[in-house]
Structure 1
Amino acid sequence: MTGASASRPTGSSARRRRGRRRACSASSPPRRPPPHPPPKRRRPHPPTSPRKPLSTPGSRPVWHPEITKKEQEMSATKRWLAGSVAAIAAVGLAGCSAGDGGGGTADEPTVVEFWGWNQGQDLMVDAFNEANETVQLTYTQFPSQADLLTGLSNAVTAGTDVPCLVQAPGSPVSLLSKGLIQPITEQFAGNEDAFIETAVTSQSANDEILGVPFSGGPGFAMINKAVYDANGLEAPTTWDELIETGKTLKDQGVSVLNFAGEDPSTLVSFSNQAGATWFEIDGDSWVVDIDSPETQKAADVLQQFIDNDLITHETFADIPAMSQTYDAGKMVTIPLTTWNLAAWQERLSTSLGSWQTIDLPQFADADEFVVPGSFGGYSVPEGCESVDAAVDAAVFLATDPTTVGIAASPSEGAGNYPAIPDAGEYVDGLLPPTLLGDTVGETPAVIERAANAARVQWIDSPSATYFDELVSQWAKAVNKEITLREAVTHMQDYVVSDLEAQGIDVTER
């Protein structure tokens, strides 16, 4: 979703494009070069003409909480470890204190700069600005989550050009620990019932609200029903059943899962579903618990798919080849979430109409139905001048029927499942017209069950090199060079050693 690039203005030109911003009591620091290569920017204005729908996102390789390599801010981490969630908010890196500049007028609206990367957010900003007079949004679109994280880190560190609202580029606890965002508990109060409980939980820690939830990524699965039916097979309800299905189909050259060597999110999601929590914060210490019984259980199940050769190894670097394998009926089970549906509609051809969504298979010993999931949130960066206005704008974007509809649309938006109760009216818009054939009517119930059962609090690693190492270990395991148990044990030792080398207090469980 890279829009057309335009140079970011500086000096008085930049201030004019932002509108008249209410001034802080402290003098502003000298303006510096922009914190990121020039992204797409939009001025606040109501839409003046119909827009051609944007194309559906090309590909998203993961169906569960995204794992992204992040730049670590050591001083911010120390501030977190020295106190509580509120300690970060008390140590402002720049700008005014929380709540300053919250009230504008129609003649002099408060201007809130919003950064994001999802398709359709420009249209959502237009809708917000048309409906609101006292607060106006400007919008900067970044090419990706990683690019926004870099831009946000640079802006907060420099103490200039800090936006007041961002699509959170990572888990809120991790962003807070780096000093990049601030709690919004007071400003968000009273809005809890506007969102489903799991969504609010995903944006909370230590009784503090860290973000406004707006989209869900509940996990479910999709099977090639034509292949299943032709072999007299039922849809699997457990991973053990899927393993047995794989053994039945193996002689026909059919696989039941795809393990891309560059995508360790499969291990992360299975671990999440099994109940693992790899990273937590306890007092003044980071808790590292990668090599836990829950992760070992997940690893043991995944190892059976590897050892029995029940998987394909299609890479997301070659989507056409992957699609051909799926179209040919050679890979018949896809774990995914809502935003993947439109992408698979575009990728597949001859198998369109053969697929059916099902509840995500469970571990055989599961006491309750649970799926890995994630909820995206809007966060208020440290140094924001207008926290009240930013939170009000975020709640509007996440709950207003027009903006929710845009975000949920696979053509105009990103195909996001809304974080609000009774989201059923938006689910039909998420469903591709031909992918699921006659079974399309079953999908809303599958998605709703997943959204209400999602295990959403997954904290990113504070180790800057963790992701690359995880990719390496996953690739070795998929290629049978090591076992997943060995990979998990290695990751535990690796992250602990890395954090200790940086002088960060670590607790192992």
Structure 2
Amino acid sequence: MKPLKSAIAVAMLSAMVLTGCSSADTTENAGAAIDCTPSDGPVNLSFTSWIPGIESVVDVWNKANPEIQVKVQTGPNGNSGTYQNFFNQLKAGNAPDLGQVEYDALPNFRVQDGLMDVGACQDVADAQSDFIPWAWNQVSFGEKGSAYGIPQDTGPMALFYRSDLFTKNNIAIPTTWDEFAAAAVEVRKTGSYITNFSQNDINQFAGLVWQTGDSWFKNDGDAWNVELTGPGSTSVAEYWQDLIDRDLVSSYPGWTSEWDNAYNTGKVWSWNSAVWGANSIASGAPDTAGSWSVAPMPQWKKGDNDSGNWGGSSTVVFTGSEHPYEATKFALWLNTSAESLTMLNESANIYPATTAGLELPSLKEGVEFYGDQKIYDVFAAASTQVSSDFLWGPTMTQTYNSVSDGFKAAVTSKGTLVDSLKTAQEATIKELKTQSIPVAE
């Protein structure tokens, strides 16, 4: 993908001014102007995150780095208030040096002039090969030499399923989406559903689209292309609409007691979800311990090996930080150090974005809830099968809300999933124009 220009170019140039840098070149080389030299004397950094147990991890850094001390502040997850706080702080000129930002929120911060491009820092350039390529693409926007954050974790997807119920009813574990639809018919004969279609968590649907190789947004170098109705999105929407119309999937709102109960009682047998879903099932369906297994996502074509991604965050250096070198050094340690990654995995089930992180001893053990299956081997393979081409847009909150409104209508036969994507596309284009963000016509 070519460098983003127009509104984003202004953001990048503004960032250079705020960091006391100069540039004799265009947007393409703007990152090279960032000052990545060490500060004189002791440095105090501020860092905001919502990861459980992050304080203990930062303590390890502080004990080993007396000259670069990090003060951590915790808060609610991004969309529950922390992102708005970040934007308010950036506007007031008192943002923290570092913050946790999910991949789908990075474009919004970038067009608002909120992120430093630390890709020109030598330590960052040297570390790029340590990360899963598609995860690096999320923070670089596909631009060579750029990095608007350091990848923290990922959410490769796979199929969680009730192996006991599939075996008892002599139903084969589906390896393709056609087989999944056929299995849904057989499961429905038992009075249960093969899975639940989420009407309110659009990230899952986006992950299913990601598996097709399609992308909801693209940038041609001057403006954003909105492609919520591309061939991949449309195929996924039509597939699930068919299952909904035939009453082959449930539609409980996600993350509710009703949703938990459906899985805990065997009313729903499977869930196409991300690696972190392992803990969601274990906590929401405790009576089913030992009855679950994990398999690769069903494929659109037999023999393919494609996965999607659902979730993931980065550690960013905010515009205005007076210590980008030290901030970047901490961000790299946080997300590449075996000690840090192990602690983050054990305290918050963070799934690393580095290739070495996938080999952590804690991710090589059998999981009791899943019949002692080494489930993370499945996700390690899936993490290498995610397309690097998926790109988020700068107005994802609005896009999610628009799609969700349509999905809620679709599951009650008041519209279709394809219709909701069309409506959301129009609303997204309108929102981009309202914010004076260039849109490709």
- TM bucket normalised to smaller: 0.7 to 0.9
The match for 2:86 is 152
Q: Is contact 1:338–1:415 with CA below 8 Å preserved after alignment?
A: no
Q: What CA distance in whole angstroms lies between the structure 2 residues aligned with 1:175 and 1:423?
A: 27
Secondary structure of 1:459 counterpart: coil
Structure 1 residue 480: Cα displacement: 1.8
Query: Which whole-Å deviations, capped at 9, do the CAs of 1:271-308 have from their partners, x for residues lacking one?
Result: 22222211222222121111111211111111122111
Query: Which whole-Å deviations, capped at 9, do the CAs of 1:452-480 have from their partners, x for residues lacking one?
Result: 11235431343763332221111111222
Q: What CA distance in whole angstroms lies between the structure 2 residues aligned with 1:250 and 1:430?
A: 35
Q: What CA distance in whole angstroms lies between the structure 2 residues aligned with 1:284 and 1:490?
A: 24
The aligned amino acid for 1:103 is S
Q: Report the more deviating stretch, 195-204 or 241-250.
A: 195-204
The match for 2:376 is 444
The match for 1:202 is 138
Quick one: which of 241, 244, 255 aligns to 2:182?
Answer: 244
Query: Which whole-Å deviations, capped at 9, do the CAs of 1:65-86 have from their partners, x for residues lacking one?
Result: xxxxxxxxxxxxxx9642665x
The match for 1:233 is 171
Secondary structure of 1:199 counterpart: helix
Q: Mark the CA change 1:378 to 1:424 in structure 2 (over 3 Å): closer, same or farther.
A: closer
The aligned amino acid for 2:220 is D
The match for 2:31 is none
Q: Is contact 1:111–1:137 with CA below 8 Å preserved after alignment?
A: yes
Secondary structure of 2:240 counterpart: helix
Q: Is contact 1:89–1:382 with CA below 8 Å preserved after alignment?
A: no
Q: Is contact 1:371–1:454 with CA below 8 Å preserved after alignment?
A: yes
Q: What CA distance in whole angstroms lies between the structure 1 residues aligned with 2:365 and 2:85?
A: 34
Counting matched residue pairs gives 419
Q: What CA distance in whole angstroms lies between the structure 2 residues aligned with 1:357 and 1:491?
A: 33
1:178 aligns with 2:101: no
Q: What CA distance in whole angstroms lies between the structure 2 residues aligned with 1:370 and 1:338?
A: 12
Structure 1 vs Structure 2 CA RMSD: 2.5
Q: What CA distance in whole angstroms lies between the structure 2 residues aligned with 1:213 and 1:229?
A: 39
Identity of aligned residues (%): 21
Structure 1 residue 426: Cα displacement: 2.5
Secondary structure of 2:120 counterpart: helix
Q: Mark the CA change 1:498 to 1:84 in structure 2 (over 3 Å): closer, same or farther.
A: closer
Q: What CA distance in whole angstroms lies between the structure 1 residues aligned with 2:431 and 2:120?
A: 36
- TM-score of the aligned structures, taking structure 2 as reference length: 0.88
The match for 2:29 is none
The match for 1:418 is 352
The aligned amino acid for 1:363 is W
Q: What CA distance in whole angstroms lies between the structure 2 residues aligned with 1:171 and 1:216?
A: 14
The match for 2:45 is 112
The match for 2:28 is none
Q: What CA distance in whole angstroms lies between the structure 1 residues aligned with 2:359 and 2:425?
A: 44
The match for 1:505 is 438
Q: Is contact 1:183–1:210 with CA below 8 Å preserved after alignment?
A: yes
The match for 1:331 is 268
Q: What CA distance in whole angstroms lies between the structure 1 residues aligned with 2:37 and 2:46?
A: 13
The match for 1:256 is 194
Q: What CA distance in whole angstroms lies between the structure 2 residues aligned with 1:366 and 1:84?
A: 41
Quick one: which of 319, 328, 351 aligns to 1:391?
Answer: 328
Quick one: which of 413, 417, 420 aligns to 1:480?
Answer: 413
Q: Mark the CA change 1:431 to 1:480 in structure 2 (over 3 Å): closer, same or farther.
A: farther
* Equivalent residues in 2 for 1:335-374, closer than 5 Å: 335-364=272-301, 368-374=305-311
Query: Which whole-Å deviations, capped at 9, do the CAs of 1:348-393 have from their partners, x for residues lacking one?
Result: 2321101001101121378542323454211111111111111111
The match for 1:44 is none
Structure 1 residue 223: Cα displacement: 0.4
- Gaps spanning 5+ residues in structure 1: where? 1-78
Secondary structure of 2:44 counterpart: strand
Secondary structure of 1:312 counterpart: coil
The aligned amino acid for 1:231 is N
Q: Mark the CA change 1:496 to 1:396 in structure 2 (over 3 Å): closer, same or farther.
A: same
Quick one: which of 123, 135, 138 aligns to 2:56?
Answer: 123
Q: Mark the CA change 1:406 to 1:464 in structure 2 (over 3 Å): closer, same or farther.
A: closer
Quick one: which of 237, 240, 245 aligns to 1:302?
Answer: 240
Q: Mark the CA change 1:291 to 1:388 in structure 2 (over 3 Å): closer, same or farther.
A: same
Structure 1 residue 502: Cα displacement: 4.8
- Gaps spanning 5+ residues in structure 2: where? 22-33
The match for 1:142 is 75
Q: Mark the CA change 1:329 to 1:345 in structure 2 (over 3 Å): closer, same or farther.
A: same
- TM-score of the aligned structures, taking structure 1 as reference length: 0.77
Q: Mark the CA change 1:293 to 1:356 in structure 2 (over 3 Å): closer, same or farther.
A: same
Quick one: which of 1, 5, 11 aligns to 1:88?
Answer: 11
The match for 1:54 is none
The aligned amino acid for 1:216 is T
Quick one: which of 394, 414, 425 aligns to 1:492?
Answer: 425
Query: Which whole-Å deviations, capped at 9, do the CAs of 1:86-112 have from their partners, x for residues lacking one?
Result: x5232038565543783354xxx2111
Q: Mark the CA change 1:467 to 1:370 in structure 2 (over 3 Å): closer, same or farther.
A: closer
Q: Mark the CA change 1:397 to 1:327 in structure 2 (over 3 Å): closer, same or farther.
A: same
Q: Mark the CA change 1:431 to 1:478 in structure 2 (over 3 Å): closer, same or farther.
A: farther
Q: What CA distance in whole angstroms lies between the structure 2 residues aligned with 1:366 and 1:496?
A: 37
